[in-house]
């Protein structure tokens, strides 16, 4: 499964990867971190739908549970795919800004 | 938190085994809005459709085994949905017998008269029912035969559909016999009480038969290749159900346009389809078709992931 195969889950998945790039976190902490980063609330079902796909794809891995909460961390493959996706976004942003400046 | 527990119950068991505790902890840590509840419900549906999402900690062999189990349950889902659809269809057919719509249906058969849309939709419905029946037989008979041959302990379950069929078919057969023998007038309508009792009994017999057959198939030792094969007729059955649903909806629309005095009668207990009886039939058919479609998607996901797993194991 490639990252693009995540379909509608690719955006939430990217946000989760970006959140975990700042360190291991459990579900609720990710949700709060994503809200602080983007100003949007990610629904709990969407978060776990994307989390399960990221774990299935080997981009994140679960750490031992702390009480009932289970933290997750980025794997090497996850960091690589995040870098690749952010580079694509960066290039898109740069192109958009350049075109606006040329107007 | 009761709502969190209820929401968690929407997910498949293996998903709950893997993510249940942490998901509950997260739900309990926040105040859930209506959109959160909707979000969880939609994603629970996604987890049912994509069973592979629950197996992150599972070994490859175990994963393939679980996915094959999912494929089996997907096929059982399609079969059960088809039975519910058939019950609704039989009821529709029963209401149509000798109904005032008959003269408006034209020649029902392959020679379609497009000026008689009621007849056209009815013919499409009949053709769809034949396609679905043939597909169920093509996929289901090999499974039933394999279950009978390889798992003697499940044979007793097959007695239920046979007994149910006999008890459903017997009362109308006796009535026809009595009519032919002249004991009761040949054109006397079936008493309303008997009609209702037969319909209720048909539903009970269908539920009992479905339960017994699905029990037998889910407990039997069936070859994986047969399970794979049976999935394709399952798709055909679902498509035929969608076709029949479309034809039934179209029939109602044409009946409303052509014969509003018959169709728009606010009465269920008449000897022909009215808006109410048609609406209930369409509702049953719609729910059945949605369940069968979910079975197809679930089966497709299980088949695809099981094949990936089998390739990886090889």
Q: Is the pTM of this model over 0.80?
A: no
In chain A, whose CA is at the least distance from the CA of B7? A45
The pLDDT of residue B314: 46
From the list A47, A56, A68, which residue is nearest B25 (CB)?
A68
| Domain parsing of chain A, residue ranges | 7-102
Q: What pLDDT digit, counting tens, does each position of B177-199 carry? A: 888 887 777 666 667 777 778 88
Minimum distance, in Å, between the CA of residue B294 and any CA atom of chain A: 18
Q: Is B10 in the A-facing interface, judged by CB distances under 8 Å?
A: no
The pLDDT of residue B110: 54
**Residue scoring higher pLDDT (B242 or B3):** B242
The pLDDT of residue B177: 84
Average pLDDT, chain B: 84
Q: Which residues of A touch B40 (CB under 8 A)?
A: 43-45
Domains of chain B in start order, with CATH, are: 2-27+36-50 (no CATH), 73-151+220-313 (1.20.120)
**Residue scoring higher pLDDT (B64 or B278):** B278
Minimum distance, in Å, between the CA of residue B232 and any CA atom of chain A: 24
The pLDDT of residue B55: 67
From the list B15, B39, B55, which residue is nearest A44 (CB)?
B39
Q: Is B34 in the A-facing interface, judged by CB distances under 8 Å?
A: no
Asked if A52 and B41 come within 8 Å (Cβ–Cβ), the reply is: no
| pLDDT-based confidence at residue B310 (cuts at 50, 70, 90) | low
Minimum distance, in Å, between the CA of residue B74 and any CA atom of chain A: 21
Whether the pLDDT of residue A5 is over 60: the answer is yes
Q: What pLDDT digit, counting tens, does each position of B220-257 carry? A: 888 888 888 888 999 999 999 999 999 999 999 988 88
Say if residues A82 and B53 touch (Cβ distance below 8 Å).
no
| Assigned CATH topology for domain A7-102 | Arc Repressor Mutant, subunit A (1.10.10)
Q: What pLDDT digit, counting tens, does each position of B145-184 carry? A: 999 988 888 999 999 999 999 998 888 888 888 888 877 7
Q: Which residues of B touch A55 (CB under 8 A)?
A: 56
Q: What pLDDT digit, counting tens, does each position of B7-41 carry? A: 999 998 888 988 999 999 999 998 999 999 999 99
Q: Is A25 in the B-facing interface, judged by CB distances under 8 Å?
A: no
Q: What pLDDT digit, counting tens, does each position of B49-67 carry? A: 777 777 666 666 776 777 7
The pLDDT of residue B72: 86
% chain B with pLDDT above 90? 38
């Amino acid at each position: 499964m490639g990252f693009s195969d995540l379909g509608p889950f690719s955006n939430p998945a990217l946000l989760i990867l970006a959140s975990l790039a700042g360190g291991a976190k459990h579900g609720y902490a990710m949700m709060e971190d994503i809200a602080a980063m983007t100003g949007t609330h990610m629904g709990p079902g969407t978060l776990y739908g994307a989390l399960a796909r990221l774990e299935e794809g080997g981009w994140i891995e679960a750490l031992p549970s702390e009480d009932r909460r289970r933290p997750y961390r980025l794997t090497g493959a996850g960091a690589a795919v995040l870098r690749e996706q952010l580079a694509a976004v960066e290039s898109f942003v740069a192109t958009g800004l350049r075109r606006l400046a040329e107007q | 938190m009761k709502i969190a527990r209820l929401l968690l119950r929407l997910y498949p068991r293996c998903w709950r085994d893997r993510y249940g505790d942490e998901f509950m902890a997260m739900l309990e840590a926040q105040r859930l809005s209506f959109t959160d509840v909707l979000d969880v419900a939609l994603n629970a549906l996604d987890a049912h459709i994509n069973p592979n999402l629950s197996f992150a900690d599972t070994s490859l062999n175990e994963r393939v085994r679980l996915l094959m189990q999912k494929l089996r349950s997907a096929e059982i889902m399609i079969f059960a949905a088809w039975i519910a659809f058939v019950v609704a269809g039989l009821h529709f057919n029963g209401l149509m017998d000798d109904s005032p719509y008959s003269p408006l249906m034209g020649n029902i058969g392959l020679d379609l008269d497009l000026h008689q849309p009621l007849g056209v939709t009815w013919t499409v419905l009949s053709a769809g029912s034949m396609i679905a029946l043939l597909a169920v037989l093509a996929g289901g008979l090999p499974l039933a035969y394999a279950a009978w041959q390889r798992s003697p302990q499940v044979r007793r379950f097959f007695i239920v559909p046979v007994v149910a069929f006999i008890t459903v078919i017997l009362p109308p057969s006796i009535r026809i016999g009595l009519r032919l023998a002249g004991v009761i007038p040949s054109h006397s309508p079936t008493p309303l009480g008997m009609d209702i009792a037969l319909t209720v009994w048909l539903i009970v017999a269908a539920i009992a038969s479905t339960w017994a057959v699905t029990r037998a198939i889910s407990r039997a030792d069936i070859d994986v290749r047969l399970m794979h094969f049976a999935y394709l007729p399952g798709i055909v059955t679902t498509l035929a159900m969608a076709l029949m649903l479309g034809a039934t909806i179209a029939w109602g629309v044409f009946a409303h346009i052509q014969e509003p005095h018959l169709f728009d009668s606010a009465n269920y207990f008449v000897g022909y389809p009215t808006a109410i009886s048609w609406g209930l039939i369409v509702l049953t058919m719609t729910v059945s078709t949605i369940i069968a479609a979910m079975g197809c998607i679930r089966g497709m996901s299980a088949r695809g992931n099981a094949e990936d797993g089998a390739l990886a194991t090889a």
